[in-house]
């Protein structure tokens, strides 16, 4: 699973006074990525009070009731007229990033209400940024222009919103989403501050270098739905970081149902003689679920199981 950290720095300058916040949403192509359990595809910053040049921060309705706008935020708005300073890191996790994945920023605003009464927050601007370049997230500080509505990624012509810019940084981690805190701590220890920017290239498993991971890119999955009888191909390229006690290994694959019935397989592949013992190459391929080879199955609980077997050194036991 990929964990994408978005550090939103500033946005502006804006010509209208009010509270602003930025929401980030992952898009696959031109459609928002669907959320699922354990997957976070959108996040939002806190609200910031913005006072454009020539206006005052005092007076009725300066801060709306129920708004989470701190004194330091108000002070920051006074020191940088028209600019919203967020300095917040947002995390999106559980989604494999691809060359077609885009990050959409949505800017929301609420105008000051009369007598301190809150007003409705509305979407006022947006921008979009590509994520990957040569399989890695774009490094360093980025500035993107904010556009006026409507939010149309396919629009040939876009108009700027207040000639404002959005500044942000990106950092990517691969592995279990629950290990993000470890990665952020490792990045901070390396001099990355809040774990943004310097975190690019680090991994979220301490002690495992970035070079140990296989970098892959994928395109958009085919739109045609899978139908029983089409079949699919399972390919096991190899193993990585096997225990130091192994000798020659082989991988055995099979497909089982939830009630323990064997649906397909077994198929196996032995490690190639010229491959590393601890990082073997199997080059094992099997076509499953095809009516042509007699392994067609329609059980929705079908689960692929891969087992690695080896003879341990000095023990002569198959494991």
- pLDDT tens digit at each of 319 positions of the chain: 568 889 999 999 999 989 999 999 999 888 888 877 778 889 999 999 998 877 655 544 444 434 455 444 444 444 578 899 999 999 888 777 888 889 999 999 998 877 667 688 999 999 999 888 777 888 888 999 999 999 998 888 899 999 999 999 998 876 543 344 444 443 443 344 444 333 344 455 655 656 666 666 555 666 666 666 667 788 888 887 787 778 888 999 988 888 888 888 788 889 888 888 888 888 888 887 766 556 566 777 888 899 988 876 555 444 5
pLDDT at 215: 62
pLDDT of residue 39: 81
pLDDT of residue 98: 82
Contacts of residue 199, defined as CB under 8 A and 6 or more positions apart, other chains included, come to 5, 171, 172, 173, 183, 184, 187, 192
Model pLDDT, residue 188: 44
The DSSP element (H or E) to which 306 belongs, if any, is strand 303-310
No. of helices (H) and no. of strands (E), the chain: 2, 17
Please state whether the predicted TM-score (pTM) of the whole model is above 0.75.
no
**What whole-number distance in Å separates Cα of residue 67 and Cα of residue 80?**
20
Taking every pair of Cα atoms in the chain, the longest distance, rounded to a whole number of angstroms, is 83
The neighbouring-strand residues paired with 102 are 27, 130
Six-digit token string for 56? 């005052």
| Residues in contact with 174: Cβ distance below 8 Å, sequence separation at least 6, in sequence order | 1, 2, 3, 203, 204, 213
Picking from 316, 299, 318, the residue whose alpha carbon sits closest to that of residue 308 is 318
Residue 185 CB neighbours (<10 A)? 14
- Sign of the alpha-carbon dihedral angle for 25, 27, 32, 36: negative
Enumerate residues 6+ apart whose C-beta is below 8 A from 260: none
CB atoms inside a 10 Å sphere around CB 42: 15
Beta carbons of 119 and 110 less than 8 angstroms apart: yes
Computed on alpha carbons and rounded to an integer, the radius of gyration of the chain in Å comes to 26
* Cβ contacts of 177 within 8 Å, gap of 6 or more: 1, 3, 38, 40, 93, 94
Give Cβ neighbours of residue 133 (< 8 Å, ≥ 6 apart).
Answer: none
- Tokens coding 60: 């009725």
- Per DSSP (E only), the strands in 131-278 are 132-133, 136-137, 142-148, 160-174, 230-238, 249-256, 262-270
């Amino acid at each position: 699973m990929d964990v994408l950290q978005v550090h939103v720095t500033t946005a502006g300058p804006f010509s209208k006074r009010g509270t602003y916040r930025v929401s980030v949403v992952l898009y696959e192509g031109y459609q928002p990525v669907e959320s699922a359990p354990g997957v976070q595809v959108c996040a939002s910053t806190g609200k910031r009070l913005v006072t454009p040049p020539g206006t005052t921060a005092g007076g009725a309705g300066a801060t709306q009731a129920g708004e989470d706008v701190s004194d330091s935020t108000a002070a920051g708005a006074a020191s940088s007229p028209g600019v919203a300073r967020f300095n917040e890191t947002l995390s999106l996790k559980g989604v494999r990033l691809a060359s077609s994945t885009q990050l959409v920023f949505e800017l929301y605003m609420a105008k000051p209400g009369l007598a301190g009464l809150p007003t409705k927050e509305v979407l006022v601007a947006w921008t979009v940024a590509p994520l990957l370049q040569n399989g890695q997230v774009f490094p360093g500080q980025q500035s993107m222009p904010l556009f006026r509505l409507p939010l149309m990624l396919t629009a040939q012509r876009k108009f700027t919103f207040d000639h404002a810019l959005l500044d942000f940084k990106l950092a990517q981690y691969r592995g279990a989403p629950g290990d993000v805190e470890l990665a952020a701590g490792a990045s901070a220890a390396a001099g990355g501050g809040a774990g943004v920017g310097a975190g690019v290239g680090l991994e979220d498993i301490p002690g495992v270098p970035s070079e140990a991971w296989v970098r892959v890119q994928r395109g958009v999955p085919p739109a045609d739905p899978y139908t029983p009888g089409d079949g699919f191909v399972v390919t096991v390229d190899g193993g990585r970081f096997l225990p130091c006690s192994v000798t020659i290994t082989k991988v055995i694959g099979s497909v089982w149902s939830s009630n323990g019935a064997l649906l397909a397989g077994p198929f196996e592949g032995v490690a190639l003689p010229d491959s590393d013992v601890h990082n073997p190459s199997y080059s094992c391929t099997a076509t499953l679920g095809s009516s042509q080879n007699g392994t067609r199955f329609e059980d929705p609980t079908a689960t692929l199981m891969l087992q690695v077997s080896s003879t341990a050194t000095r023990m002569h036991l198959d494991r």
